[in-house]
Amino acid sequence: MLDPTSRYATLETAKLVAADGREIAYKRRRFLPQGRTMTLLTEVMVASGERPDLLAARTLGGPLQFWRIADANDCMHPQELVDEPGTMVRIPVPQPQG
């Protein structure tokens, strides 16, 4: 079971039937949204030593929301968001957590 705030929570669960007849459940592929279409809360400058989870905690109120910042910046690998101090990072409007 996935946390309701997980980036995978709303994805459809599919099943694959293995050669031996076992059913294997899996989540369908997640495609990144277009970051430029997301409503922004603000933009922030990356500080030296910044981490994606700390940036999310500071700006979105929870460290597990780092993926929302990655989505808003069209970034597949969240660590890349903070690799370069001084970079401006888009922060999306927080979504309700449930």
Domain residue ranges in the chain: 13-92
| Residue 3: both structure tokens together | 């946390």
Q: What is the CATH code of the structural domain delimited by 13-92?
A: 3.10.350
Q: Is the per-residue pLDDT at 49 higher than 90?
A: yes
pLDDT-based confidence at residue 97 (cuts at 50, 70, 90)? low
Query: What's the whole-number average pLDDT of the chain?
Result: 90
Work out the average pLDDT over 33-47. 91
* CA–CA distance, 51 with 95 (Å, rounded to integer): 21
pLDDT-based confidence at residue 34 (cuts at 50, 70, 90)? confident
pTM, full prediction: 0.76
Q: Is the per-residue pLDDT at 41 higher than 80?
A: yes
Give the pLDDT confidence of 3-29 residue by residue, as tens digits. Answer: 777 777 788 899 999 999 999 999 998
Amino acid at 56: A
Give the pLDDT confidence of 53-88 residue by residue, as tens digits. Answer: 999 999 999 999 999 999 999 999 999 999 999 999
Give CA angle at 22 (21, 25), nearest 5°.
135
**Chain Cα centroid distance, residue 94:** 12
Q: Which of 13, 41, 42, 40 is nearest to 27 (CA)?
A: 13
* CA–CA distance, 48 with 13 (Å, rounded to integer): 40
96 three-state secondary structure: coil
DSSP state of 3: -
